[in-house]
Amino acid sequence: MATGFPAITGDVLSAAMFNGLVAFTVTTESGATYTVDNDDLYQVLIQTSNASTKTVTIAPDSTLTSAIVGSAITIINTGSGALTMAAGAGVTLTSAGAVSAAPTLAQHKVLQCVRVAANTWRIYGAIG
């Protein structure tokens, strides 16, 4: 997670926190499955690098306790296998993809998941 997120009332913005606001923290996930957690929110770019198909799951609010309306998760698929987004228990995903609730992402494409309500995420980007 980028330094400085999430802040609470009374926090003092330090230079390190401010600098953390303007750059992505880049993480790499190479497995066939991955479930998003609190460390993936805000200025984080998740790279998936598996050569086979892979699934990234958006966890429910009970797990993503730092997610507020407007929180974003950004993912790039650097692996050659297609990436499919999946909803955790009680989570609703919608997108303009061919399969709205389970959009796919081809190699070198990027998507962003934005929390719009409790356990509800919209997915935007180069999805199929």
Task: Indicate the residue type of 91.
Answer: V
Number of Cβ within a 10 Å radius of residue 85: 25
pLDDT of residue 124: 93
pLDDT tens, per residue, the chain with 128 residues: 455 556 678 878 777 777 666 678 899 999 999 999 999 988 889 999 989 999 999 999 999 999 999 999 999 999 999 999 999 999 999 998 778 888 999 999 999 999 999 999 999 998 87
Q: Model-level pTM? A: 0.83
Euclidean distance between CA atoms 99 and 76, whole angstroms = 19
pLDDT digits (tens, 9 = 90+) for 4-17: 556 678 878 777 77
Distances (CA, A) of 71 to 44, 67, 115: 11, 6, 5
